[in-house]
Amino acid sequence: MSTSLILSSVAAVSITLRRPGVSTRNDEGRSVQSFTDSTITASVQSGGTSRGLQHNAEGERQTQRRRIITESELRAANPATGTLADRVVIDGLTFEVQGVKRVSALLPCYMADVTVLQEEAA
């Protein structure tokens, strides 16, 4: 039984994977990040956990979180290696991969927690 077959049985959908590419500077000297988009299949689950609650100076705010399961490789940020986090577009909102785990209990897949980018949460 393939991972694709399992994903299709748990309501998998097509989402956009946005992988960071080369960073360049614009005319004003600001860093501009490029991305490479591809379509992947994933099971998207709501992330209604307490980790979705942010404690800010101005008060607490709930963030939109999701958990996705996919056979496509996903990457979280790694400051030690300079790796930037992947982003995924789900229902028109862009989420950033916060943490990812490779799971191989039944079949190999990636399980990732993603959080909506702040500029789109408002």
Exposure letters 87-100 (e unless 16+ CB within 10 A, then b): bbebeeebbbbeeb
Q: Could you report the per-residue pLDDT of 54-112, keeping only the tens digit for each?
A: 555 665 566 789 999 999 999 999 999 989 999 999 999 999 999 999 998 777 899 99
Query: What is the number of structural domains in the chain?
Result: 1
Which structural domain range is residue 84 located in?
A: 3-121
Query: What tokens appear for 62 in the block?
Result: 């709930």
Q: What is the CATH number of the domain that holds 30?
A: 2.40.10
Amino acid 79: pLDDT = 93
Query: What tokens appear for 44 in the block?
Result: 């998207």
Per the model's pLDDT, the better-predicted residue between 9 and 88 turns out to be 88
Q: How far apart are CA 1 and CA 114, in angstroms?
A: 27
Give this prediction's pTM.
0.75
